[in-house]
Structure 1
Amino acid sequence: MTESQPHLLFSFGTLLDRQVQTALFGRTVATTPAALAGYATRPLAITDEAVIATSGQDVHLTLKRRLGSTVEGAVLRLTDEELAAADAYEVADYARRQVLLTSGETAWAYLDANPLRSAARIVIVGDSIAYGRCDPQGGWTGHLAAAHIAANETQNRVFNLAVPGSTLADVSAQTPALLPPRHPDTLIVAAGINDSAVPLAAPGDGHDGLAHLTGHLDSLAATARRHNARLVVVGPVWLDETRTGDYEGLRFTTDRALALRTALRAWCADHHIDFLDLWEPLRDQPHLLVDGLHPDAAGHKELHRHLDALG
């Protein structure tokens, strides 16, 4: 039986405290100095009494994105059990995600649980719904961009690079060349509904776009990691199957869209990737869809309200 490899965890706060380590792990942990570029810190009020008792502090630090900044800290090497103990210690405001250290090593770090709240420079890739088709204001992504940039005109940017008709295969192939000049810290992938479509001309040809999702998502995760960008996957929007019988030679169904939603959610859970579910906001509201598939202006506003409420 072989022992599992230690988990590298980057910390800059209370997990470096020897008393906290002893309380959580039953030992003190050797650390190695490390740094995380593209981040700064902000205070976070803690209300969990157990966490306050362990750390002795009711204000911890959390990370936010800032181009040109660096957070100094250290790497802890933890066992499976110790990493689980660290997860239990961190409050719900944090989520464990992978980051790229200045050393070139990949490590875990506890980031803001809301990936959009901590973002600064966002790149959006995806299909016609992400593009904002059927909404002159640019769809939910347009509303997101307006609010995000208004919050900090100096530092915040949103680049919507979605292309109508794109599949995840298209997105995974095209995205690597799009990121370098934009210096993203967050990559939002809003695609996949076209992968769920069944061609009406040859429905039994054996091709199933849903069968290849994992490979495309793995590729996008690797692309995001190379840029130290946080990957955020957006799930499909509810559709009205009664109005999508023949959409430009494609058939979109509720069952296939739900299969896509389930597959995306499962992959994200397995890989500690953020998943934003857009199914419920428009569920059973066909009047918010132009053609059974694309939200209208009011539908896009509803999607943005849903995302905004997550913060």
Structure 2
Amino acid sequence: MNGYDNADLRAAASAGIRAPSMHNSQPWLFRLRDGAVEILADPARQLPVADRTGWATRLACGAAAYNARLALAMRGRPAEVDVRPSPAEPELLVRLSPGPERPATYAEQALHAAIAHRHSNRAPFWPDPVPSGTRIRLIEAAHSESAWLDLLVGMTALAGFSEVAGSADRVLRRDDRYQAELIAWLHADDAPDGIPVSAGGPLPESHDLLPQRIFGNRRRGPGRDYEPEPLVAILGVAGDLPADQVIAGQALQKVLLTVTDAGLAASMISQPIEVPTARDQLRRSLSRNGYPQLALRIGYGAAGQTTPRRDVTDVLS
């Protein structure tokens, strides 16, 4: 069977760069080697304060790998996935090798179409509940990628998560180096990376249930409070080794694309994962044997803008 070629690599990378990453730092590289498309972590773009362990980088590269898989499937050349295939090369996170050729499935086509429209929506959502059928789709999306997705139901569960997330957020706000790094990634709307100021949500208020990062100085309009009972989902996997975090990133992206395909919006809440004590509290509250990797707020919201990306040529190794 023929290996992938440069056209396959470019298609995979063009889709891969649309994945989410902490502060839109885009910490990935793509290369073609021995007929396989490989996704590598870019150490130069790993956040030295917020991502000291590389957890967020591995999550982002896993998400990029899932997009790349969809792009290759659309070319009739779906990939077989090998996570962290070379212990001697720790920055190599995913190798995509050609599997049996076949047309893309309808599900793959729908998720691939969602790549261009997926973005984080940090604004308040509408109060309309997410239908039960859609909730099942999201849970199944995570499960199909060897992850789990717990949807928090009821105010008791939401209040418990709010306490853990709020405590973690306060820890991070007291860290001057962390806050300086976050501010350094606030960029103009036409910058190729970082968080555009216009993409931030309104300033947080004391009565908000969930913590919000401060990306600007915009105040919310009258009657535009955040939803009182948001749908919060916790994504996790069985282990917490680097390979597990890459797997979690692939599952995360499939969930986010399923959210987009369903006409929903999502924003990511990483504070309770970034602070070890908060993460342990969250894990115990879920009564799970696995490890939470990210929290999501999901609902219906106004259409927003996708954040900029570097040119694909900048990420080809």
Report which of the two structures shows the higher radius of gyration computed on alpha carbons.
Answer: 1
Q: Same fold (TM over 0.5)?
A: no
- Higher strand content, 1 or 2: 1
TM-score calculated relative to the size of structure 1: 0.28
Which is bigger in relative contact order (C-alpha 8 A, separation at least 6)?
2
